[in-house]
Amino acid sequence: MTLKTQHTKNIKKIAKRLGFEFCGISKASFLEEEEPRLTDWLTNKHHGKMHYMENHFDKRLDPRKLVDGTKSVVSLMYNYYTEQKQEDKRAPKISKYAYGEDYHFVIKEKLAHFMAEIQSTIGEVAGRYFVDSAPVLEKAWAKKSGVGWLGKNTNIISPKSGSFFFLAELLLDLDLEEDGPIKDYCGTCTACIDACPTKAIEPYKVHGDKCISYFTIELKDQIDAQFKGTFDNWMFGCDVCQDVCPWNRFSKPHNEEKFMPKKELLTYSKKEWSELTKESFNMLFKKSAVKRTKYSGLMRNIAFLNSTIDT
């Protein structure tokens, strides 16, 4: 067994031990196929007011420009699927990924352990780790390394696990054995495109400026009135294109204690959400990704939903 093979096996063992459901590896290189896709997406303003997406164009396409010396990209997936649901069917909805603690912190802690274990097992290895926190085209790398294929809703879909998982990456100055991409199994299915409440999806492209997740999380201004009646009662994020995906019948509940929701999140009624105080918001969403939209943003979203229902 070569040293390269041994290092690769060790890294995949560490990933499994830390609870990552899949670990795929690619050689660090320029993402030639992604350049025209990213250019088109930005040129057509599909990023809306997420102006940060316009920054670091070269680094997004080449991880070696982001982290000097990078030789391999390790792509990881971490399950967040849950069968738990909010009890009041009339209550405004929260995306499953935000039920528990903020995944950025939970997974970054695991990645820190990952790097420490790599260095104790393999030796002096330089690199950095990311989870949705840097100009890394994580879906492109996940596709390239065989985590799954890029679905028509632009989520990475695993044939064994569906799409309810977070992506994370390690950029390492270590030569590792590459995994290849897998086949696209979307076929003729258009379930995600047909079900999107705001018609934000066309095959393999999401118009971010029409996406409910964009409106309820990223957008800081008032929501355009033309979208009233199209939010399917989502107040933070949206799971529609994943909920209807046939491949998510293979999703299995996660085992991460930190992703378990507080009782109130599931039991609050529509009325209780509408009357949510700032104190209750801070208590309920302590360490939560929902804090990103702030109390004012969440109440703006709830008011938008209520005005939709009343008109």
Q: What is the DSSP letter of 269?
A: -
pLDDT-derived band at 167 (thresholds 50, 70, 90) equals very high
Residues 101-108: what's their mean pLDDT? 96
Whether 184 is a known active-site residue: answer no
Closest Cα partner for 38 from 14, 62, 18, 20? 62
Residues 216-241: what's their mean pLDDT? 95
Beta-carbon contacts of 109 under 8 Å, excluding residues fewer than 6 positions away, are none
Residues 79-95: what's their mean pLDDT? 97
Catalytic one of 132, 173, 175, 184: 132
pLDDT at 311 over 50: no
pLDDT tens-digit series, residues 18-37: 999 999 999 999 888 887 78
21 within 8 A of 75, measured Cβ to Cβ = no
pLDDT tens-digit series, residues 287-302: 999 999 999 999 999 9
